[in-house]
Structure 1
Amino acid sequence: MRLAIALLTLLGLTACDQNSDSLIVGGKDFSESSILSEMMAALAEDAGIPVTRRTFLGDTMVNLESLRSGEIDVYAEYNGTGLLMLGQPAMADGDAAMERVRSLYQPLGIVWGNRFGFANNYGLAMRPGRAEELGVTSISDLVAEAGGLTIGIEENFETRPLDGFGPMTARYGMEFGSVSTVSSEERPTLYDDLLAGSVDVIEVFTTDGQIADLGLVLLEDDLNFFPVYEAAPLVRSDALVRFPELQGALDRLSGQLDAQMMQELNSRVDQDALSPREVARAALSELGLIDTDDALEVTEPVVVAHSPLIGADAETGTALRAVRQAYPGRRVLLQSEADPLGVVGTGGAPLALAAAVEFTELEEDGDLATRPFEAFGVVGQSYVHLIGLGDTRRLADVGTLATGPEGSASHRTGQIMTAVLDGITLSPTADGAPGDADAALVVAPIGSAVVEDLLEDGRLLALEGWDSGNTLVRFPQLRQARIPAGSYDGQLRAIETLSSQLVLAGPIVVNTDAVGPQGPGASIPTEVAALPDNTVLAINGALGTLIGLDPAIRAAPALAPTLPSPPAAVNPSSAISFMTALVLLMFGWLIWLYARPERR
């Protein structure tokens, strides 16, 4: 027993000696903290300091207590959090906050290093289309609209006494119509709710990778309500004595990082599923702080091309959310293009959000030619907005019609209109500006900000009589519809118009002798690989719509209904036939045995 105790004591002393010879780097349990921990560890190693990593250790309380007890030597902390942990109010002035935390933590044997250069504050974000529709760029702009809006927040933000939801609404003097609260573990679902349109505003951290990936609008905190949370190394003072090179190693990262860069790095971990260590080392290499041969293999993002007239409204958000669910662990980006399907056809994107009218090409003889693309599911509906400008008040008064650039949905619709109506000349423009045209044609969902801008000096014109003759047969991608009264300011009555289904689409699979991604005889006439059936079904399922695809456009083969299996053949095989014959012979023999006369 004495020998065992002596051995355990010796092992414990050895472990203590090893810990004292190694810098122990801690970290909180989220991506940004892990990235910063790996950066500090890499810089320390580059300075010749041996490092032990305990990243993703836990929350703030766990890391701070581990630092005070000597279980770790350094981790990345935020000055605002540092103040709150000692019962002090956070501050909006970063310099004052750093001076305060340094004076408070020094007696505890803990030193605040120089700031990394960015702040990760609380903030509010919106979809660009919704923000533009409401004319909101700052939190103060929300005050007049908040009563009719839903905000999504995390439960921790709801309960914070100084910089949480209640104090924020009190400071700005506003009250939201409804509040949707999620747990800390469900925080990423706030972005899905925003894309789905179930909430109008969400609470975010300003370095969240999704802000840039989804193109969200971060509202200006114009009253400087939210305290500053600037990141910096938090180090035990005895570690600086044990490792004289440590201070210089950490100072190399001083002022090197900004919020935009942290958004990108966070996105590489959260969306591209890369490890914090490889992301951190690659970032340090790009900054010229370390030399490394490690290549960062970032998976190419999944790009969804879409019309700029759709922007990042509810329809684009629905498409983006569905594609993200179909491609777990992949970054999904929006790409604004005048001709989304054309970009897919040339290899610029694998997917497009397009109107049904974009699936055809008007030929010189007036017939429609089908373009080589297929639809995966319904996202929404685009409407033809014919806007009279100046003195133009009827369709008959339109001589010059402004459209989007050639290849766009509005220009294709304009070509069809000129094939049906006489006396109209198209005027395509790259930026959609109508110029001196009599009217403008915009194909977009109802509520389009572009339409609202044009209606400030114009009016919606009715497109009536489209069902006369064989027009509906010739151009089935355009259906009769109405823009309901009140859809736009000053619109007192419903407007007769046309609509075109809005769908997610990709390159078509055609039958050839080649072997493509969907099996023998499947290839594509473009540079983009056709989507596998399971991906098509995943996108369609994620859209969750009960509306079927317009029969005027081609649906992906994977969406074809499953036919019932034909009845099995009477004699499926010779072996079964042989066994059936034996069974019948046995039954016949048994009957004969039963019915034969008894032998005397």
Structure 2
Amino acid sequence: MRYIFALLCMIGLASCDDPAGTLKIGGKDFSESSILSEMMAILAEDAGIAVTRRINLGSTLVNLESLKRGDIDVYAEYNGTGLVMLGQPAMTDGDAATERVRSLYQPLGLVWGKRFGFDNNYGLAMRAGRAQELGVESISDLVSIASDLTIGIEENFQSRPLDGFGPMTARYGMSFGNVSVVSADARPQLYDTLLAGDTDVIEVFTTDGQIADLDLVLLDDDLNFFPVYQAAPLVRADALVKFPQLQGLFDQLAGKLDAETMQRLNSQVDQDALSPREVARAALAEMGLIDESDGLQIAEPIIIAHSPFVAADTETGRALRAVREAYPGRRVLLQEQSDPLAALASGDMPIALVTAVEFADLGANNLPETRPFEGVGVVGQAYLHVIGLGDTRRFSDIETLVTGPEGSASHRAGMILAAGNSGITLSPQSDLTTGDAALVLAPIGSSIVQDLLENGRLLSVTGWDQGDNLVRYPQLRQARIPEGSYDGQNTAIETLSSQMVLAGPVVENTDAVGPQGPGASAPTDVAALSNTTVLAISNALRSDIGLDPALPGAAALTPALPAPPAAVNPSPFTSVLTAIVFLLFGWLIWLYARPERR
């Protein structure tokens, strides 16, 4: 019995989660921390050390306390956070901060390793077009206009006493007109609000993958307000004794990870839905620190094609957000095409951001011929901007009208204008400053239009309701550019507008079974959007405006019709059955009412 009891004890010890020879690695509950923890775990395993992963363990406090108790042996920490956790003020000098935390944590039996090489500080970011429109490059540039702007922040940043929102605005001497606060769990929503135009500026971490993905501008912290946060391994001293090779393994990562690299790795987890482990393994192989024959398998991104000039920040942001919701776990990118619907027809891209005029080709007698595409959701409105250059003061003075390249939205709108004005010659080219006037079809507030107005003026387009223009060209509708839409614009400008939509290939009726059911398939070599995808995009756009009646719409967006009334003349079987029921009721009534027999 003694031998059996000893054997059972040995089996029990062998089945424990944390045998004596196992390195326990923790980590915080966000992607970057998980990636760094996986890198350390993979390097240890590659060196023959058994590893127990406690990645995504929780907050800074949870990880630090677990490290002190010995529940974990190491996790990735930031020197700025290390100072704050011991009640010390954070620093803007990374070297000084590292030396300080090393001296403070040594008495606790904790050792700071060499830094990985990147800073992940707080920062402020804006859409590129919005920053250019306002002339903002640094945080100080916001001071004079902050009262007219909305900033989006996370609640933890709002409450931080030393390097949070209140101290930041006090240091820079500014006050924002509106502050939108989200919870820590909802932090990714800050990017959604920025894309939707609900906020002008948002608080970010400087290694967020969305900064590069969305081509955002990271504002320069020109007063060096934000403390430095540089990541490094934080290890128990007894773990370094137990595993003597551990320090050398982690030192291999010293200086190997810069901010751009971490943005890319974070994006692969957050946007491409890859696991931190496979992202970390691929990165280590790329750095030559482990042998890995298989590369990282990343799904091809979803490309949204768009016409030149037409893609303003708010509209492209709304389109990006909607398509990302419809394709979860896939990277979504924008790509300029002179004729985006032609790119769609080739099968190279599944979806396009276009205007209503791009749905039609001018054929015989200058009448539009419908192209085989359909709208799946309304994004916004594009306005016809005709900018007189040089001595051109009136629309009637135009002889040469410069548009974008052939096939673009601006060029197609120019073709329609020229069809009703025989004296206008179109000049399709990218340089818009070479003719009597330039035509830009874009949302109000276009930075391209604003640049052209430095040496030009907006011209009114009037008389469109005369003749049969409204019938011949329903893709262009009368509109007005409000006063003050551009610097120096003192009056409202009469013009035309065209609805902006997300579009996909039209579904043709065939005998095949396609993504929208039997009898529906896409044109050859073109992938049709499924009903589920169409509805997901439409719902994500959250637009109260319906698709322009001049445009063909996706079948999934067709309103459900009420059920037709029942047929007046039912089938013969139903008629006979009804007659039998009436006879049965009549017989029962007779039985009840007949005289009682005596």
Aligned to 2:61: 61
1:512 aligns with 2:506: no
Q: Alpha carbons of 1:80 and 1:554: their partners in 2 closer, same or farther (altered >3 Å)?
A: same
* Offset from partner CA, 1:6-59 (integer Å, 9 cap, x none): 999978976889533011111011111011100100011111111111111111
Aligned to 1:49: 49
Q: Secondary structure at the match of 2:153?
A: strand
Gaps of 5+ in 2: none
* Offset from partner CA, 1:142-162 (integer Å, 9 cap, x none): 111101001111111111121
Shift of 1:424: 1.5
Shift of 1:513: 2.8
Contact 1:507 1:526 in 2 (8 A): no
Aligned to 1:287: 287
Shift of 1:203: 0.3
Contact 1:25 1:54 in 2 (8 A): yes
Aligned to 1:459: 457
What amino acid maps onto 2:441 in structure 1?
A: V
Q: Distance in 2 between matches of 1:3 and 1:536?
A: 69
Q: Distance in 1 between matches of 2:312 and 2:30?
A: 28
Superposed counterparts of 1:135-534, under 5 Å: 135-363=135-363, 365-430=365-430, 433-525=431-523, 527-534=525-532
Q: Alpha carbons of 1:11 and 1:90: their partners in 2 closer, same or farther (altered >3 Å)?
A: farther
Q: Distance in 2 between matches of 1:541 and 1:80?
A: 42
What amino acid maps onto 1:272 in structure 2?
A: D
Q: Distance in 1 between matches of 2:574 and 2:290?
A: 74
Shift of 1:521: 2.2
Q: Distance in 2 between matches of 1:458 and 1:98?
A: 56
Q: Alpha carbons of 1:446 and 1:318: their partners in 2 closer, same or farther (altered >3 Å)?
A: same
Shift of 1:514: 2.8
Shift of 1:408: 0.7
Aligned to 1:561: 559
Q: Distance in 2 between matches of 1:582 and 1:253?
A: 89
- Larger deviation: 42-51 or 215-224? 215-224
Identical positions, percent: 72
* Offset from partner CA, 1:269-314 (integer Å, 9 cap, x none): 2222222111211221222221234553323332222234244511
Aligned to 2:134: 134
Q: Secondary structure at the match of 1:537?
A: helix
Q: Alpha carbons of 1:11 and 1:66: their partners in 2 closer, same or farther (altered >3 Å)?
A: farther
Contact 1:128 1:312 in 2 (8 A): no
Shift of 1:545: 1.7
- Larger deviation: 563-572 or 82-91? 563-572
Q: Alpha carbons of 1:587 and 1:123: their partners in 2 closer, same or farther (altered >3 Å)?
A: same
Q: Distance in 1 between matches of 2:138 and 2:570?
A: 73
Q: Alpha carbons of 1:12 and 1:103: their partners in 2 closer, same or farther (altered >3 Å)?
A: farther
Q: Alpha carbons of 1:408 and 1:464: their partners in 2 closer, same or farther (altered >3 Å)?
A: same
- Larger deviation: 590-599 or 77-86? 590-599
Q: Distance in 1 between matches of 2:8 and 2:120?
A: 45
Shift of 1:486: 1.2
Shift of 1:217: 1.3
What amino acid maps onto 1:501 in structure 2?
A: Q
Q: Alpha carbons of 1:294 and 1:580: their partners in 2 closer, same or farther (altered >3 Å)?
A: farther
Shift of 1:328: 2.9
Shift of 1:393: 0.3
Gaps of 5+ in 1: none
Contact 1:110 1:236 in 2 (8 A): yes
Q: Secondary structure at the match of 1:19?
A: coil
Q: Distance in 1 between matches of 2:551 and 2:562?
A: 25
Aligned residues: 597
Q: Secondary structure at the match of 2:366?
A: coil
Contact 1:91 1:227 in 2 (8 A): yes
Q: Distance in 2 between matches of 1:367 and 1:573?
A: 50
TM (norm. structure 1) is: 0.94
Q: Distance in 2 between matches of 1:112 and 1:156?
A: 26
Q: Distance in 1 between matches of 2:121 and 2:159?
A: 17
What amino acid maps onto 1:508 in structure 2?
A: V
Aligned to 1:88: 88
Q: Secondary structure at the match of 2:171?
A: helix
TM (norm. structure 2) is: 0.94
Q: Distance in 1 between matches of 2:114 and 2:270?
A: 27
- Larger deviation: 83-92 or 474-483? 83-92
Q: Distance in 1 between matches of 2:406 and 2:186?
A: 44
Q: Secondary structure at the match of 2:491?
A: coil
Q: Distance in 2 between matches of 1:12 and 1:85?
A: 38
Shift of 1:423: 1.9
Q: Distance in 1 between matches of 2:318 and 2:384?
A: 21
Q: Distance in 2 between matches of 1:560 and 1:527?
A: 26
Contact 2:13 2:19 in 1 (8 A): no
What amino acid maps onto 1:543 in structure 2?
A: L
Q: Secondary structure at the match of 2:510?
A: strand
What amino acid maps onto 1:338 in structure 2?
A: S
Shift of 1:527: 2.9
What amino acid maps onto 2:449 in structure 1?
A: V
Q: Distance in 1 between matches of 2:31 and 2:271?
A: 11
Contact 1:378 1:548 in 2 (8 A): yes
